[in-house]
Amino acid sequence: MRSKSVFLALAALLALGMSWSDARAEVNWKQFQGTEIRVMMNKHPFTTYIEPKLAEFEQLTGIKVVMESFPEDQFRNKRTIELNSGGKLDGFMIMATQDDLYYWKAGWLLPLDDFVKDPALTDASWDQKDFFPLFMKANTIDGKLFGVVFNAETSLLSYRKDLFEQNKIKVPATMKEFEDAAKFFHGKEMDGKKMVGVTLRGKGAAATSQWSDFMFTFGGNWMEKGKSFLNSPQDIAAFKFYGDMLRNYGPEGATMLHWAESTQLFMEGKAAMIYDANVFKSLYENPKDSKVAGKVGYAVIPAGPAGSIPHLSNWSLCINKNAPAKQQKATWLFIQWATNKQNAVKALLAGVPAGRASAWDSPEYKAGDKNPDWTASVKKSYETGNPQWNPPVLNVPEIRDIVGQVIVDAIQGKDVKASADKAAELMNKKMELP
């Protein structure tokens, strides 16, 4: 009798043009009323957005959220210490491909798949398919989902649109055109300033995330068949191009450039181009701090031998595998709410690149979009990028230091092949595989 009822209900829904998932009842948001959860966050624009809205979640669910946020370095250390010591921590932010393999092996990440499939715990409106697939892939280990993206990052070529138009320079679509444009602007007096052609991160390990885009675009990789790929012809070509660009057309002291110094140079109007994270648009376009606000154009990374392949990185929310079961489920309700479609749109309007396609396509966002070339380039990158922006090892910081030294050597004009050979040998010796 029950199966007949279910069949009749499904038939009625199909007749109305609805899917079964559309018909899933809204979850009981009050099912964990009275529970308290503790969530640890990095001081991040998303934290700034979501923290004032916690009362809304608490009113919806009756769940008390204790949210603590710390500067990034302190956050990473405190999170690891507390998880390692078995402290009371229910949910936390994580950056996929930075810490996830280590945390997964340590047994600190709860697989979320059973929660996602459970109609008593996951509201149909949450709509998992709305998230960009490559970011969901980045939050998956051994076929298990461990996190939900709320901040989707990539990198873009940002350039002085006004100067390119005045000098009739084509926006670089290839690495050759990228180099030609940098060469044209480098050393010229423009707007009363002596320009550099391009600025990039050059400070060792800090540069590896941006260099990875060049590595992929030149056809390289971190590893192949369990061995370092750093001294492959493709990786060496990427090291050489990156180093040559900074040495020949970049600022002095390029090996000391982190993102803050590089973006500041661009915002002061002293560089024709910069290649760095898409989130820095909010800096470039802020007229209070930037002399180039309203003068910047945006494009995907110029194509190399393997095409145009930027890296993808993201911050996600996840659940402590060792938290009590009730806290885990209550934390899942919090993650659902924090990453729902409404919050994704509002966070995007506040400058947090959303991991949901619907946010970018929403009328609210489109109506206020002052940089459609930025939006188009970001969306294109989300479709074509590579989420493996760090070496796929447990000891990521140690291997990034090794890669960063080759970048420094390339900028300084040293023998790149010799440096890459040394780095590959050291990486093979030091890397810890999952």
Q: How, if at all, do strands 189-190 and 227-228 pair?
A: unpaired
CB 113 within 8 A of CB 145: yes
- Every domain of the chain and the residues it spans: 36-153+313-384, 154-311+388-430
Structure confidence by residue, pLDDT tens digits, 180-211: 999 999 999 998 889 999 999 999 999 999 99
Using CA atoms, how far residue 419 sits from 102, 214, 230, 404, in Å, is 28, 18, 10, 11
Instruction: Provide CATH code, domain 154-311+388-430.
Output: 3.40.190.10
Which helix (H) or strand (E) covers residue 78, if one does?
helix 72-85
Instruction: Provide CATH code, domain 36-153+313-384.
Output: 3.40.190.10
- Residue 378 φ then ψ, to 5°: -65, -50
- Which amino acid would we find at residue 255? T
Structure confidence by residue, pLDDT tens digits, 236-251: 999 999 999 999 999 9
For the chain, give the longest Cα–Cα distance: 83
* Separation of CA 14 from chain center: 39
DSSP string, 151-219: EEEEEEEEEEHHHHHHTTPPPP-BHHHHHHHHHHHTT-EETTEE-BS-B---SGGGGHHHHHHHHHHTT
* Separation of CA 352 from chain center: 11
Residue 3 token pair = 């199966």
Cα-only R_g, the chain: 23
Same fold for the domain at 36-153+313-384 and the one at 154-311+388-430? yes
Closest CA to 177 of 306, 271, 301: 301
Q: What angle do CA 128, 132, 134 make, to 5 degrees?
A: 115
Q: What is the pLDDT of residue 7?
A: 43
Size (the chain), residues = 434
Q: Three-class SS of residue 269?
A: coil
Tens digit of pLDDT at every position of the chain (434 positions)? 444 444 444 444 444 334 434 444 589 999 999 999 999 999 888 999 999 999 999 999 999 999 999 988 899 999 999 999 998 999 999 998 888 999 999 999 999 999 999 999 999 999 999 999 999 999 999 999 999 999 999 999 999 999 999 999 999 999 999 999 999 999 999 988 899 999 999 999 999 999 999 999 999 999 999 999 999 999 999 999 999 999 999 999 999 999 999 999 999 999 999 999 998 998 899 999 999 999 999 999 999 999 999 999 999 999 999 999 999 999 999 999 999 999 999 999 988 999 999 999 999 999 999 999 999 999 999 999 999 999 999 999 999 999 999 999 999 999 999 999 999 999 999 999 98
Distance CA 334, CA 318 (A): 10
- Locate tokens 């749109």: which residue? 345
Q: What is the pLDDT of residue 25?
A: 59
- Which amino acid would we find at residue 175? M
CB 386 within 8 A of CB 312: yes
DSSP string, 324-372: -HHHHHHHHHHHHHHTSHHHHHHHHHTT---SBHHHHHSHHHHHT-S-H
Report the 10 Å Cβ neighbour count for 427: 22
Distance CA 206, CA 211 (A): 9
Q: What is the pLDDT of residue 19?
A: 40
Report the 10 Å Cβ neighbour count for 400: 20
Q: What 8-state DSSP symbol labels residue 52?
A: G
